[in-house]
Amino acid sequence: MIYTVKLGDSLYSIARQNGTSAATIASINGLPNQDVLVVGQSLVLPSTPSPNRPMIETNLYVEWYTEAPSETVISQVENVASLLTYMMPFAFEVKRDGSLTKMDWGRLPEVAAANNVEEVVIIVNIEEGAFSDTLAHTIFTNEEVKQRVFEETVAEANRRGTNHIHTDFEYIDPNDREAYVTFLKEFRAFAPSFIFSASLAPKTSANQPGKWYEGHDYKALGEVLDFVVIMTYEWGYSGGPPMAVSPIGPVRKVLEYAISEIPSQKVMMGQNLYGYDWTLPYKVGNPFARAISAQAAVQLAIDRNAAIEYDEVAQAPFFNYWRDGKEHEVWFEDARSIQAKFNLLKELNLLGISYWHSGFNFPQNWYLLNDMFRIKKK
């Protein structure tokens, strides 16, 4: 059950009304201070999961910006590992000669092994910090480079003790649409015992225009891959105007199209763990909005005494506040918004959910995930 804080509420009064304790509610929701709430804040109340709840698969992309993941990163993953099917350290970049960049996963393999989480090797067409269509073209069409990608990726997977390879090739030239499918078919033939999955841009039609979309053929890719992750987020993005990052209407539209081309049990919903804090008024060329976790967003609303509102159409919370003479607008995720996504996942009978990415604290998500689903372990 989810409770929305009203004027005059205290954690103790909410607990009394619902037959629980303030300490229990604080623990579930990760509240640092039981004495301070803000109007509009959502709170998950304790419940007992049904043993008959559906089983899904889950994935967490793990990202870090140091040579190896810090103990903070490790701890964040460790805290949720019992609720993960897959863990995808992001990522091995493919070079122009087909070799891969090096990655130090630190203690992540230990965490995965202790929690029966399947590690996955991800390869990406990122060069100098951005996805490159010309790099992807070389990977797909140069036979010598392609063979080296196959060999090095499989060797890396073998070193890591996994047989699962995930490709995240984005901004592919539309002329290479078929070449990407052929690349994956040949990769499968090279490593027939391996599992292959991929991230796909959020499309609503086969011929949707735009460079992010045109290189991904849902139907053909769905036939060659074991499953796909649809990146159903970034409608609200750091360089754009303030809005929900993953509004439920557009998310639904994308996923309904996806399952018209790909069996639903091959489709994972992508889900952001973050929101954004925009400075107003929004203008093209403004500094990028700051990414913010669900926990940090609620704390910011408390600190600024900013009532949280909820957009029923987008199914997303937001609030406004002032700092240094400038107004800000924050859109983020909360218990209500994530429950709406879980309900959609169940309705469409999807394989599961994939989170982008580690580093954003959102305890309500993990409690509700366990409350609504059993998690498949490999």
**Residues catalogued as catalytic:** 170
- Determine the 3-state secondary structure of 153 from DSSP: helix
- How far apart are alpha carbons 147 and 150 in whole angstroms? 5
Alpha helices, DSSP H, located in the chain:
11-17, 22-29, 71-80, 108-114, 133-141, 143-160, 177-190, 211-214, 218-224, 248-261, 294-303, 335-347, 363-372
- How far apart are alpha carbons 60 and 354 in whole angstroms? 6
Q: How many CA atoms, within 13 angstroms, populate the side-chain half-sphere of residue 160?
A: 29
- Whether 176 contacts 136, CB under 8 Å: yes
Single-letter code of the amino acid located at 1: M
In degrees and rounded to multiples of 5, residue 124 shows phi and psi of -135, 155
- Whether 225 contacts 197, CB under 8 Å: yes
Which helix (H) or strand (E) element contains residue 319? strand 316-323
Q: Say how many residues make up the chain.
A: 378
- How far apart are alpha carbons 5 and 44 in whole angstroms? 11
| Residue 316 vs residues 26, 281, 335: alpha-carbon distances, Å | 22, 21, 10
